[in-house]
């Protein structure tokens, strides 16, 4: 227990120590002050013409992002459909089915990295590298670009533009993601992660059986999968696989990589809007929720399961689906980080968590992936809640709400309120549809309330662009591949477009100097109000259905009922 808490404290401490300098550096990148890769940047932007240099209004910025993501979808879809004709396919992998390629292409373009397939049994090396690794970089960079544009809009003084998408995209990739990935990939190899073009080796075990061990260019992909909050594993079981995550030290580096950039964005934001306290406030609100989630999940995983307590020493915890080298605490820390950050990689099987442990992981996603969240989009998702919170605070005191000196008016509040519909639409409506058509029932592995949890988790993960799974659920069917694909699109662009629109409208507004009646948005009162708003919205939306799934399962487990 003490050792567990020490490990957790070490992780959180290192995370903050890393995020502060990264945040400062990212602010300088988005301000165009980092120049050391300028020649490469020019080469990449040159064929695009002058359009890649001029500042864009929010509409042009959003259209550029959509065009880039559409092109990315098309290219990836084609690579996956024709991987048998492309090079670097040593294991002779077949092309993906149409619906699986559709789902996977959307999944990687939207930074979700939901995987309806098992990597080592489905993907050629070419698909993993040119297809998936590329999108790991550029889908993350797209999200980072959005955050930069939004920060500029919030900070702007009567301006019309938010910066240039192409520039932000290329700079995020070159200056931030690529150098960090280079270092991290080498560290991973040093700790035991393979990086080879060989597909597999055959060993003869001590008992004389043949063991085929799948290999591949693993390290390069998992470095960016963590840093870009992507989460798509090289292997089926993701970071639980000893080749993706060989030691507890590799595990610590991975967890730091999952949250480093999302946490750093709070500090980047504070600098970009010219008031660092605003960044600290967001950092604090998210940090409180992260710590509470950790404490709750840790406690849940230590609840002894009365169904097994006669046979298993309760002090050793729930180890089904967990790896010995990480133990309980590192599995819990990872689960909290990956669901909070919309990363979605896993080092333990969430499906086998205790019912309440699974609930916390699911709720983390359902709150909208804003507890640090995905790179860039976590911050902008949080800003939507900030707007709603200042609006509520304004209602309470009867003043026009303001944020960063700008009046928040009907247009902004309407757009922010609209985004509250994204999660319920993607999770509740699509899951209900799957259940009504019977497609959910044929895909679940477990009977009883846990089956409902599996369906809910799948649709939460897709809409939240998380990508982790209750992996007993068989998502690789025409229905689920299609609906989960749509949920991922909704969860990505359903937030990005409105927040860019809000940033566009705030950019043009006058800044009124703070007065005695101004409600400060950096103090503890505001942080508390923000956290409460998020929890109330999340709880009102999801508590009823969570009662039927994980809570019902918990109660049955306590009375010794199996399904």
Partner 1 sequence: MNTYLRPALSILLLLTLITGVAYPFAMTGLAQMLFPHAANGSLIERDGKLVGSALIGQNFVSERYFHSRPSATSTADPVDATKTIDAPYNAASSSGSNLGSSSKALKDAIVERAAAYGQGPLPADLVTASGSGLDPHLSPAAALVQVTRIAKSRGIPVDALQRMVEGHIEGRELGVIGQPRVNILVLNLALDKIKP
Q: Which stretch binds partner 1 (CB under 8 A): 18-26, 92-100, 316-324, 424-432?
A: 316-324
Does 2 interact with partner 1 (rule: CB under 8 A)?
Answer: no
Binding region for partner 1 (CB under 8 A) out of 116-124, 263-271, 527-535, 536-544: 116-124
Q: Which of 178, 295, 435, 537 binds partner 1 (CB under 8 A)?
A: 178
CB 165 within 8 A of CB 66: no
Provide the 10 A C-beta neighbour count for residue 561. 13
Question: Is 93 an interacting residue with respect to partner 1 (CB under 8 A)?
Answer: no
The answer to whether residue 517 forms part of the interface with partner 1 (CB under 8 A) is: no
Q: Using CB under 8 A, which of the segments 25-33, 149-157, 175-183, 408-416 binds partner 1?
A: 175-183
- Shortest Cβ 11–partner 1 spacing (Å): 9
Of 348-407, binders to partner 1 (CB under 8 A) are 348-349, 351-355, 358
Q: Segment contacting partner 1 (CB under 8 A): 241-249, 374-382, 385-393, 516-524?
A: 241-249
Under the binding rule (CB under 8 A), the answer on residue 254 touching partner 1 is no
Calpha distance 389→531 (Å, rounded):
9
SS3 of residue 331 by DSSP: helix
Decide: is 162 part of the binding site for partner 1 (CB under 8 A): no
Using alpha carbons, select from 253, 193, 261, 256 the residue that is nearest to residue 221. 193
Token pair, residue 312, equals: 């298993």
- To the nearest whole angstrom, how small is the minimum distance from the Cβ of residue 208 to partner 1? 10
Ranges within 272-291 binding partner 1 (CB under 8 A): none
b/e for 410-446, b at 16 or more Cβ within 10 A? eebbebbeebbebbbebbbebbeebbeeebbeebbeb
Q: Which of 28, 89, 97, 247 binds partner 1 (CB under 8 A)?
A: 247
Q: Does 89 bind partner 1 (CB under 8 A)?
A: no
Site residues for partner 1, window 10-39 (CB under 8 A)?
10
Q: At closest approach, how far in Å is the CB of 143 from partner 1?
A: 15
Q: How far apart are CA 170 and CA 21, in angstroms?
A: 21
Q: Which of 110, 115, 161, 221 binds partner 1 (CB under 8 A)?
A: 221
Residue 482 contacts partner 1 per CB under 8 A:
no
Contact assessment for residue 358 and residue 321, using Cβ atoms and an 8 Å cutoff: no
- Nearer to partner 1 by Cβ, of 199 and 290: the residue is 199
Q: How far is the CB of 325 from partner 1 (least distance, A)?
A: 5
DSSP helix/strand/coil, 242: coil
Tell the smallest beta-carbon distance from residue 58 to partner 1 (Å). Answer: 15
Given 93, 96, 123, 129, the residue binding partner 1 (CB under 8 A): 129
* Beta carbon of residue 423, minimum distance to partner 1 (angstroms, whole number): 23
Among 23, 103, 131, 402, binds partner 1 (CB under 8 A): 131
Q: What are phi and psi of 143, to 5 degrees?
A: -65, -40
Task: Between 159 and 312, name the residue whose CB sits nearer to partner 1.
Answer: 312
Distance CA 135, CA 113 (A): 10
- Our finding on whether 410 is near partner 1 (CB under 8 A) is no
Q: How is residue 259 written in tokens?
A: 């949250």
Residue number, 247 or 439, with CB nearest to partner 1: 247
Q: Under a CB-based contact definition with an 8 Å cutoff, are residues 483 and 434 in contact?
A: yes
DSSP states along 478-502: HHHHHHHHHHHHHHHHHHHHHHHHH
Cα dist from 216 to 9, 15, 383, whole Å: 34, 30, 40
Say how far apart CA 465 and CA 340 lie, in whole Å. Answer: 11
**Closest CB to partner 1 among 30 and 519?**
30
CA dihedral 234→19→13→229, nearest 10 degrees, is -20
Are 551 and 355 contacting, i.e. CB atoms less than 8 angstroms apart? yes
CB closer to partner 1, 23 vs 72: 72
Scan residues 47-66 and list those touching partner 1 (CB under 8 A). 47-49, 51-52, 63-64, 66
Q: Does 185 bind partner 1 (CB under 8 A)?
A: yes
Residue of 373, 464, 472, 538 interacting with partner 1 (CB under 8 A):
472
Residues 252 and 346: their CA atoms lie apart, in Å, by 13
Return the DSSP state at 201: E
Query: From the list 38, 182, 532, 536, which residue makes contact with partner 1 (rule: CB under 8 A)?
Result: 182
| Closer residue to partner 1 in complex, CB, 193/503 | 193
Alpha-carbon Rg for the chain, nearest whole angstrom, is: 23
219 interacts with partner 1 by CB under 8 A: yes
Residues in 434-463 at the binding interface with partner 1, rule: CB under 8 A: 445-450, 453
Residues 112-140, buried b or exposed e (16+ Cβ, 10 A)?
bbbbbbebbebbbbbbbbbbbbbbbbbbb
Number of chain positions touching partner 1 (CB under 8 A): 131
Residue 325 touches partner 1, criterion: CB under 8 A: yes
Residues between 187 and 216 with contacts to partner 1, criterion CB under 8 A: 189-198, 200-207, 209, 211-215
Calculate the CA dihedral of residues 251, 257, 262, 265 and round it to 10 degrees. Answer: 140
Q: Which stretch binds partner 1 (CB under 8 A): 267-275, 379-387, 465-473, 506-514?
A: 465-473
Q: Determine, following the binding rule CB under 8 A, whether residue 236 of this chain makes contact with partner 1.
A: yes
Question: Which member of 26, 29, 80, 138 binds partner 1 (CB under 8 A)?
Answer: 138
- Which range binds partner 1 by CB under 8 A, 236-244, 267-275, 280-288, 539-547? 236-244
527-556 binders of partner 1 (CB under 8 A): 553, 556
* 3-state SS assignment for residue 520: coil
CB atoms within 10 A of CB 213: 11
Crossing angle of helices 134-155 and 248-272, in 10° steps, is: 30
Q: Give the binding range for partner 1 (CB under 8 A) out of 231-239, 270-278, 290-298, 396-404.
A: 231-239
Give the H or E element holding residue 407. Answer: strand 406-407
**Closest to 62 measured CA to CA, from 499, 455, 468, 435:** 499
């Amino acid at each position: 227990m003490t050792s567990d808490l020490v490990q957790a404290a070490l992780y959180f401490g290192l995370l903050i120590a890393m995020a502060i300098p990264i945040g400062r550096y990212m602010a300088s990148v988005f301000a165009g002050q980092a120049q050391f890769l300028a020649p490469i940047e020019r080469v990449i932007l040159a064929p695009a013409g002058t359009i890649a240099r001029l500042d864009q209004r929010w509409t042009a910025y959003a259209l550029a992002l959509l065009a880039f993501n559409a092109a990315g979808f098309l290219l990836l879809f084609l690579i996956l459909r024709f991987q048998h004709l492309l090079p670097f396919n040593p294991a002779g992998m077949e092309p993906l089915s149409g619906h699986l390629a559709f789902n996977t292409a959307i999944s990687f373009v939207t930074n979700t990295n939901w995987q309806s397939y098992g990597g080592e049994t489905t993907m050629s090396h070419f698909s993993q590298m040119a297809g998936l690794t590329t999108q790991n970089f550029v889908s993350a960079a797209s999200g980072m670009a959005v955050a930069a544009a939004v920060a500029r809009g919030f900070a702007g003084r009567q301006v019309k533009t938010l910066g240039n998408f192409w520039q932000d995209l290329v700079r995020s990739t070159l200056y931030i993601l690529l150098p960090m990935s280079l270092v991290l990939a080498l560290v991973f190899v040093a700790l035991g992660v393979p990086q080879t073009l060989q597909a597999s080796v055959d060993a003869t075990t001590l008992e004389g059986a043949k063991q085929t061990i799948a290999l591949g260019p693993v390290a390069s992909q998992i470095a960016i999968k963590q840093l870009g909050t992507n989460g798509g594993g090289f292997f089926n079981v993701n970071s639980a696989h000893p080749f993706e995550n060989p030691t507890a030290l590799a595990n610590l580096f991975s967890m730091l990589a999952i949250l480093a950039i999302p946490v750093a964005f709070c500090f980047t934001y504070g600098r970009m809007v010219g008031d660092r306290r605003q960044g600290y406030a967001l950092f604090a609100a998210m940090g409180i929720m992260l710590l509470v989630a950790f404490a709750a999940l840790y406690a849940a995983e230590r609840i002894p399961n009365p169904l097994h307590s006669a046979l298993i020493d309760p002090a050793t915890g729930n180890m089904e689906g967990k790896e010995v080298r990480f133990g309980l605490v590192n599995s819990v820390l990872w689960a909290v980080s990956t669901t909070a950050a919309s990363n979605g990689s896993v080092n333990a099987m969430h499906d086998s968590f205790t019912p309440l442990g699974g609930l916390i992981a699911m709720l983390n996603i359902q709150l909208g992936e804003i507890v640090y969240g995905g790179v860039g989009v976590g911050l902008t998702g949080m800003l939507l809640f900030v707007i709603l919170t200042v609006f509520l605070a304004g209602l309470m005191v009867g003043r026009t709400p303001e944020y960063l000196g700008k009046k928040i008016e009907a247009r902004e509040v309407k757009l922010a309120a609209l985004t509250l519909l994204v999660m319920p639409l993607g999770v509740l409506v699509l899951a209900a549809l799957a259940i009504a058509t019977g497609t959910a029932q044929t895909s679940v592995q477990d009977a009883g309330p846990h089956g409902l949890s599996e369906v809910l988790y799948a649709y939460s993960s897709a809409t939240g662009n998380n990508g982790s799974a209750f992996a007993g659920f068989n998502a690789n069917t025409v229905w689920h591949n299609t609906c989960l694909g749509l949920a991922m699109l909704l969860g990505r662009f359903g937030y990005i477009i409105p927040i860019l629109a809000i940033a566009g409208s705030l950019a043009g507004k006058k800044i009124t100097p703070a007065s005695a009646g101004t409600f400060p948005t950096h103090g503890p009162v505001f942080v508390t109000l923000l956290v409460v708003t998020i929890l109330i919205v999340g709880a009102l939306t999801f508590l009823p259905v969570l009662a039927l799934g994980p809570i019902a399962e918990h109660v049955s487990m306590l009375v010794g009922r199996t399904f």
